[in-house]
Structure 1
């Protein structure tokens, strides 16, 4: 029996906690499967590579699904089509909709789950759009999602809205100049720009739009489901929400709302105000001045007041001691800034600390830095009475003579006059005091290991109010904390320039320049040598016929002379094979020189391709360096961001390194045959020219039906493909073809591999199509073409690889066919 009970408890833990659900809600869950309408809005909602729902809102739903053991199925639906899908009863839940974007008669909105900021993006070179007035009559691209476009049209009537289906379309329209700007949430556009290394856009921070408040929408036909979802949202802890929030977003791109329980909302609705006690004189943290609460803590309280929606009524006291007495007497509901110590736990509860500040020792300027405060035996040290650390310091440092002071300023005056050795306070207190009065006469001479952990104190008999303040304290962002501190205590940082990084970049760029210069000199040298070889070959061809005729005349000697010279002829016959072999070897060497000449003739264009390949990574690296410097100057440079930028930088430099390796391998002459993949050879060739072709809007489509491993020279096949592709590129540019496109197909035909390369450049004139494989035949001028590319391509395929290379015109352009034997 005990075993069965244990199993029951285990299953209850594993398969969800439904203790807060009614009997009707539990029965509904058992008998129904929930259809979730999911849109592609990364990182909010999307379907990942494993065909599972993913994203911030999806993860929130997963917590509810796991808690209540809900049965679900995902229905892919466009964001703009959500109302229709609900109306036609195709989905039960839309996990991400903006307020008022779906008619209320179709269902119910949940509590607010997120606020998404929207920002204007333009091209980097755009300097004319700086305010909303500059957008008059301008075209602005907006993704057609619920609530976004009606809101923009309502508030900015003179903007011409260009609807797009997704973020990719919006960005492409902006880059192409079809629109003047785009409006998007940084959390949605950021991933797309980073994945595609797009660095040509910039945000206009001065132009912003009302944030979109996001909700979960439930079909009206399922009222019990709406109640289940709302209870599930209320059950998610602030810690869980923040973990998901930090997982998916940068903290300054969205706002996470506080979700109060129904009991907490009812409590706040009944409250006309909450009585607040403070320390009346403890700047820069807080002070009562002209019956108003001011200082760092006052700014926190204003933020808290805004979030709970109930006024915090200041109860004035004459000093800190009286504030503590008022909390004991329940004249105050909360104490703004207090440390949790045992003597106060009888009449107060405490939230999590929202300020953690180190304790320091302030002395005269002539005192050396103190490493060990235990060494200050019998020194008089001032601490404000009734402060939490008064009793802690007395207990931990018994050798010190503690002197109670009423106020920090009183203690610092005593230090100045030499009445006490030092004063204990926080670093912000002393920073404020130095700004106001004591700069130049006093200094911070030591630091305690302890920190002051300060919380909101709440009446012992009010646990609901404690929970409310626990949530608002948890909701404080690091940016809010820093901005409040900077408002009251100005801390100047010395800016520095990373000269090591600067000179590293300059050295790298100089090396690239030298590499390009060396390649150019090498090219000119080889061209001169190959020109000389070409002249020798032409001379050899011109004299070869005469030599053959002369040899024929010698062989036509009379029989008598032949008989007399039998021994001589036998000698000639014996050496003829050797001479023929030498001649064949000489011809092969000449052919290899022609192959290299063809390669080197294309080197100038290859250098241009490398420049295209490197332009974007270099630009992206520059942007990364600027962002790191900016975050460093703003003190926002953390390890996570550095790791992310390091990974991105490594990817960029690896891409550049691969470009150089492929360039070097392309120009390395083959020494021996090797096994290689047809697909790899095609992919490597396309990689070399990809950026160059993209810059001319040339699309290359690969249809690899079969990938075959063959035995031969991979770089020579790459050279053939490169010759064909660059000829197509030149034809596109010369004929000014709209939407230029090249299609590469492969197909296995029994014992051969067939590679078809076709384009839509208009084809080759029928009068010259039969001459394209002849040596030195070219339709380009002498500067742009040598006439060796296709001639050498035919030699490579038909002689070196025992295949066949042909060409013909098709309906739109030209088609080259390459047949290569597999064995």
Structure 2
């Protein structure tokens, strides 16, 4: 009898046996045939890609869903690590991009900056958040457009009375964070400064506080954040603006062999509207404009200084409209008049305008001690022997005006061999000579004189800011003079103060910081808009590009590059919009728990501490930390951990008094500020809260407990001392077995 195949199907008609293998082939063939048929009529067409991704970009993202991203551990508030989690403005922005692209970012927090750059170079990680695009880095990385615009700062000790310009650090020790781009600039342009490398900001600041180094150079908002967060009360940070350190543009750095990832990220980034970006900025208190409630917070010594000063004498440029000048009645007008009005509201000190006939006379008035400040002044080397400066609050591009028949100025090389003019004594004149020594520059008495000379052909061009030139051209009425190009030069304008009044400079600097970096551009937009609407001459119409109007007609230049420049200027000014009240509330609120955040706690404590000093009322703090909270996250997951945090927040909010401020200090730590409360009263409140938390029903979780440290303000205390005593008391509560309250005297 013949052998029967092991796998077979028997036909009932013919009784022949076919191997199962051939039946499988037959079924596969039928399936392929069905799949190749045209789609049925009711099939839905695929929707277009909302981000405009190409097929190649979509294919790359489908094949590579997971990307490793480096996050700086202490680049607060932009990117940092807390309790093992990546946080910050650019982290939230990256999460938003990943969500829209349908990919996932895994955040690496175990590298220093040096190690992260090496890992990106060797393709062990895929992205680095908040990275400056430099020629050296382009060998191994590609970059998106900027996601952060920051500025460089110099941290120093408050009691160090030596000059604090970089030129003065020759032979002194200056700390830098290892691998940051500032280090290469310093080694190239300031070789006489002794650089000391630290792996992160905190260690560098601690070395500065201990006197091991004389300064730390890094990003100013990051330095300020660390100084406040770690109560380094003997340190301060000030913006540093110079030829080599300007506004820093930081994008997302991507490994160079991933061009499709860069282009996809850029498209997603371009689709994020300004409302979404502002929401993120407000959440992380970035670019905080507007004064805080309660006015400017000054020390008693600073208040006493202003009272003894009596009035502040102001000198201005009398004919630099729309920036500043005098009206027909001799009164101060223009942008700086409005800005000084805001400062006066904060300072509550009378301002008196001096009658100076020219800018040179105004500067001389400060040198002679007849005036106290110049409201719009740039920090230049020639002025530092007589003036000191606040942080800049307005950055203006420098442009060139020429006759109408001149070609568009693409770069400064076109000006070599030409005669240009600038007003004598203006910062533009000095900075232009420094930047372009090969270009002939004639000093003039006024912009009007310069425009006349350009009109007559005696000068090829006139150099100044776009607003001032636009106003002057409109006043002269010459239709054959126009703005022809922008230089790689900016004016960083702050307040110039006479050199023997550092206390006044510090007060004004604090007021400028209180108003915020957006107040200056907001007022500038107002004055630029007014000045350009006042006439309809074609030359003036060009300047309206600064406030959102692209000129057609006679100003449609044959040169395409000028049109691109106008578009960039319009976009830059359109970004300066008002902030909403709702987002102001969110800026001081912890998103998870709804309690106040750390910065609001610090702000409130500063206010209550000053009230305590003035009225001699008690002021106490309660600091608490959930016990073994990490076990909850590790065992039950972060969703359950968030549930615990919210439940504890509800207990604190419900049991605290109306006069108390309850906030989330960070992670699983909370803080309660108790005005008008003695140490024993605060301790009693803490005991009540301790029992309430232990009695929470959080099933299926086990009962949760918290440890409490309580401290009060004593006469002669510095602000940071009471925080440190509360922290030490909390530490002793942990040592005593947790789930208890320890006051500072116990």
TM-score category, normalised to shorter length: 0.3 to 0.5
Provide the TM-score with structure 1 as the length reference: 0.39
Provide the TM-score with structure 2 as the length reference: 0.42
**Which structure features the higher share of helix residues?**
1
Higher RCO structure (Cα 8 Å, ≥6 apart): 2
